[in-house]
Amino acid sequence: MNISKAASRYAKALLDLATEKQVQDVVLADMETLAKALKESNELHMLVTSKVVSEDKKEQALSAVFSGKLQEMTLKFFQLLAKNSRAELIPDITVAYPKAYKIANGILEIEVKSAQKLDDASMDKIKQLVITKDWKSVEVTEIIDPSVIGGFVVKGNNTVYDASVASQLRSFKHNLVDNSHIAQL
């Protein structure tokens, strides 16, 4: 999912405010609650992102649905977005805030793709390879993809490390095709 720059900026601003008030963990839980509600209720999602529904109606709807369920600061933040015609960013902010939270707390998110489930020792080795002094811990999402054939692909922090057999075969094929003129000599 591509998150807009505006949503990322609002999420960062909310994180800064939450950190100042020392409620960043509570706001993180609020983001999960709000994201779940938006995912489960198509009506709520349509209401928040609609260009037809007035700002006042959006603000009232958010109050009616989430009053007492979200931390007061979180609710006021989203009401302010609705009031200022920025409610359509709420779904993206619920995704951007946890990412900003993890970065601020030194948690590196990585995706490990392999042909079969990796054992704990292999996963620990991968974690040790990717962790640097900038990160306190690593969160791994493991994806099983038979097209990898063997080895693994690690994605995280805007970097891809491809140690898969499929990648090596593609590289070998590419080299054979590019060097086909040598065989003709």
158/125 same-domain check: yes
Per-residue pLDDT reduced to its tens digit, 37-64:
999 999 999 999 999 999 999 999 999 9
14/93 same-domain check: yes
What is the domain extent for residue 30? 5-103
88/120 same-domain check: no
167/95 same-domain check: no
What pLDDT is recorded for position 52?
93
- Which H or E run contains 106? none
Beta strands 107-114 and 137-144, pairing class: parallel
97/137 same-domain check: no
- pTM beyond 0.85: the answer is no
